[in-house]
Amino acid sequence: MSSNKIESFEQLDLAANLLRAVSEEGYKTPTDIQVQAIPATLAGKDVMGAAQTGTGKTASFTLPMLQRLEIHANSSASPARHSVRALILVPTRELAIQVYESVKAYGKYSLLRSTVIYGGVNIDTQIEALRSGVEILVATPGRLMDHLQQKNLVLSKVEIFVLDEADRMLDMGFLPDIKQIIELLPEKRQNLMFSATFSEEIKKLASKILINPASIEVAKQNSVSDLISHVLYPVDTKLKQEFLVDLISQQALQQVLIFTRTKHSADRLAQQLSRRNITCAAIHGDRNQLQRTKALEEFKQGLVRVLVATDVAARGLDIEELTHVINFELPGNPEDYVHRIGRTGRAGRKGTAISLVSREENKLVASIEKLIGLKLKVEQANRKDDLELMQSSDSKNKTASAGPKSKSGARNRVANSQSSVKSNEGIAPFNKGQAARNTNRKNKANKIIDPLFTEPYVSSYPDNSSELANNGGKIHAATHRQHSRKPVPALFISPAIRNKAE
Ligand code: AMP
């Protein structure tokens, strides 16, 4: 079957009950990964899928899985008639919930049973669900290990094993758990593995799990959707919050996902935005499951305008029609930029990824641009307005010219910022140092140049940005990096702590 001729789900030989569910979801045309992965999976092949979230990959493995397992569908109340036939392993609670919701949606006209297990919530209801018997199990590794140790389920009848977001699994140090879980699966099974990126570690894992897989790649490694436009605003770190408030109100952003680098700055930013009457919630590894689910639901329903998230917490989030993602702080790892902005521009819709970049973060821009093969569009100042504002700032508050360490100068500059943001075409680069230097340049308006572009970069971080741990941006000795080469929240690094957190 030639994949480029497929324009409808009917052409994919899916059963009527699945076609009906898909149609009720409003899907008209299968996405690229669905066109390629569905026939291969239906044919019983192992699959190695190179795909990011937002490509429709969940349906690409769930639909053929439901079809292949349909022979086991039955209405018996006996748990013995409902063995676990498919195991879908995912790295985070949020992704687990989303995948489970997809399984329920696509399987709504099937008698196959499913459930989801993840940490951070009471285990008893999960035990009950497992004991009554399910064919499809969505799970995060830590909680699954707990259930296996308690003998709440067996995996000996699993026919299909899905490893979703394998790259993030490894980043989060789940490899030892994954290995143990695989040991408990029957040798003869179908394996489907998905990863947005392909490191040597991922290739090694794939070679151990998959047998002669169909290799499916729907977007070039680390490429980003053409539907996303990238905008960079140079903003001094201390002025970012004010700039953000302006940006949200000037662009009338109604639903915006904002990324910070650390749990601490996520909390702080959420508090600051709330104080400025911008309804806001934060999700990160320190929030309990109830808080995270509530925040996400409120955001999805439009009850809060802003969701502030850290990288790990936001992994896999699927928010329909999200138009804007803002990087309040750039991620230390350029691949996380791809993951972050992938929350927008999904399912054929346009999106905007805005990054507020301080001088210290400037070197990260180059590595992001190199990775995605695109230049981020720098939005320059409306220089006339900027000058006027800085002059008025200077005359009102002399301390503003005292130098970069003057807090009141920063505040004064910010106080005038509301009117400096005219539109997304003319946002002044917020730079406190520039405001200070402006005292000597009052009469040289057209000579003001943002030092971000004219002065050599001086790092305030060590050379290896991966040394930046989740410590409020402070340098933190990375003593536990055996699990990960990337900066991940400390919560996820130690298996002991991680299990608690899950
Ligand atoms: P995923 O990559 O699985 O996270 O899916 C991203 C989003 O695309 C989800 O909101 C899905 O509901 C949606 N989606 C999946 N397949 C299709 C399709 N064929 N047509 C339109 N939307 C889809």
Q: What is the pLDDT of residues 43-57, one digit of tens each?
A: 999 999 988 777 889
Cα(140) to ligand 1 centroid in Å equals 21
Distance 406 CA to ligand 1 centre (A): 49
Q: Among 70-74, 250-254, 283-287, 403-407, where is mean pLDDT lowest?
A: 403-407
Cβ(54) – ligand 1 distance below 6 Å: yes
Q: How confident is the model at residue 451 (pLDDT cuts 50, 70, 90)?
A: very low
The answer to whether residue 357 scores a pLDDT higher than 80 is yes
What integer pLDDT is reported at residue 484 of this predicted model?
34
pLDDT in the model for residue 494:
35
Cβ atoms of 112 and 135 within 8 Å: the answer is yes
Mean pLDDT over 222-237 rounds to 81
CB of 174 closer than 8 Å to CB of 141: yes
Average pLDDT over every residue of 124-139: 97
Q: What is the DSSP secondary structure assignment for residue 3, as one 8-state letter?
A: G
At residue 377 the predicted structure's pLDDT band, cuts being 50, 70 and 90, is: confident
Q: Which atom of ligand 1 is nearest to the CA of 27?
A: 20
pLDDT of 22 > 60? The answer is yes
Greater pLDDT, 229 or 396: 229
Residue 34 CA: nearest ligand 1 atom is 19
Min mean pLDDT across 11-20, 366-375, 376-385, 478-487 is at: 478-487
Closest residue CA from atom 15 of ligand 1: 56
Query: What does the pLDDT read at residue 315?
Result: 66
* 164 in Cβ contact with 88 (< 8 Å): yes
With bands split at pLDDT 50, 70 and 90, how would you rate the model's confidence at 34? very high
Q: How far apart are CA 50 and CA 59, in angstroms?
A: 15
- 57 and 316 in contact (C-beta within 8 Å)? no
pLDDT tens per residue across span 104-117:
999 999 999 999 99
pLDDT at residue 284, rounded to an integer = 81
| Alpha-carbon gap, residue 183 to 30, rounded angstroms | 34
Judge if the beta carbon of residue 345 lies within 6 A of ligand 1: no
- 494 compared with 173, residue with greater pLDDT: 173
The best mutation among 23, 53, 318, 339 to test binding of ligand 1, ranked by most ligand atoms within 8 Å of the C-beta, falls on: 318
Pairing assessment for the beta strands 190-195 and 160-163 based on DSSP bridges = parallel
Closest Cα to atom 6, ligand 1: which residue?
54
Ligand 1 in reach of 265 Cβ (< 6 A)? no
Nearest alpha carbon, ligand 1 atom 20: 27
Give the residue with greater pLDDT, 227 vs 57: 57
Q: 3-217 — its CATH code?
A: 3.40.50.300
The pLDDT assigned to 483 comes to 34
Atom from ligand 1 closest to the CA of residue 30? 19
Lowest mean pLDDT among 42-56, 209-223, 359-373, 380-394: 380-394
Q: Evaluate: CB of 352 within 6 angstroms of ligand 1.
A: no
**pLDDT of res. 348:** 60
Q: Are 502 and 142 in contact (CB under 8 A)?
A: yes
CATH 3.40.50.300 location in the chain: 3-217, 228-387
Confidence at residue 313, expressed as pLDDT on a 0 to 100 scale: 66
Whether residue 68 has its Cβ less than 6 Å from ligand 1: no
Report the DSSP beta bridge partners of residue 257. Answer: 307, 325
Task: Quote the CA–CA distance of 230 and 355 in Å, as a whole number.
Answer: 8
Task: Return the pLDDT at 380.
Answer: 62
Radius of gyration of the chain (CA): 25
Query: Does ligand 1 lie within 6 Å of residue 318's CB atom?
Result: yes
Average pLDDT of the chain?
A: 76
Does the C-beta of 53 come closer than 6 Å to ligand 1?
Answer: yes
Instruction: Sort residue 194 into left (φ over 0), alpha (ψ -120 to 50) or beta.
Output: beta
| CA 107 to ligand 1 centroid distance, Å | 15
Would the CB of 30 count as within 6 Å of ligand 1?
yes
Give yes or no for residue 56 CB within 6 A of ligand 1.
yes
236: left (phi over 0), alpha (psi -120 to 50) or beta: beta
pLDDT of 7 > 50? The answer is: yes
The pTM for the full model equals 0.56
List CB contacts of 474: < 8 A, sequence separation 6 or more. Answer: none
For the Cβ of 19 lying below 6 angstroms from any atom of ligand 1, the answer is no
Considering only CA atoms, which residue is closest to atom 11 of ligand 1?
56
pLDDT for residue 190: 98
CATH of 228-387, one of 3.40.50.12240, 3.30.465.10, 3.40.50.300, 3.30.70.920: 3.40.50.300
Instruction: Give the position of tokens 């909390």.
Output: 267
Report which ligand 1 atom has the smallest distance to the Cα of 102.
12
For residue range 301-348, list pLDDT tens digits in order.
Answer: 889 999 999 887 666 667 777 889 999 999 988 888 888 887 777 666
Q: How confident is the model at residue 6 (pLDDT cuts 50, 70, 90)?
A: confident
Q: What pLDDT, on the 0 to 100 scale, is given for residue 374?
A: 81
The neighbour count for residue 15, using CB atoms within 10 Å, is 14
User: 347 C-alpha vs ligand 1 centroid, how far in Å?
Assistant: 6
What mean pLDDT do residues 131-146 have?
Answer: 97
Residues contacting 276, CB < 8 A, separation 6+ = 245
pLDDT at residue 439, as a whole number: 34
How confident is the model over 456-474, as a mean pLDDT?
30
The pLDDT of 398-423, averaged and rounded, is: 32
Going along 119-197, which residue ranges are E strands?
Answer: 136-139, 160-163, 190-195
Q: What percent of the chain has pLDDT over 90?
A: 47
Atom of ligand 1 lying closest to residue 55 CA: 2
| DSSP-assigned beta bridge partners for residue 50 | 195, 217
User: How far away, in angstroms, is 401 Cα from ligand 1 center?
Assistant: 52
Minimum CA distance residue for ligand 1 atom 1: 56
Mutate to test the pocket of ligand 1, among 29, 346, 349 (most ligand atoms within 8 A of CB): 346
Task: In whole angstroms, give the CA distance from residue 492 to residue 500.
Answer: 10
Q: In ligand 1, which atom is closest to the CA atom of 58?
A: 3
Give me the mean pLDDT over the 472-492 stretch: 31
pLDDT at 186 over 90: yes
Predicted confidence at residue 316, as pLDDT, reads 63
Higher pLDDT: 249 or 484? It is: 249
Kind and range of the H or E run holding 232: strand 228-234
Q: Say if residues 363 and 457 touch (Cβ distance below 8 Å).
A: yes
Lowest mean pLDDT among 55-59, 83-87, 356-360, 427-431: 427-431
Q: With a 6 A CB cut-off, is 52 part of the ligand 1 pocket?
A: no
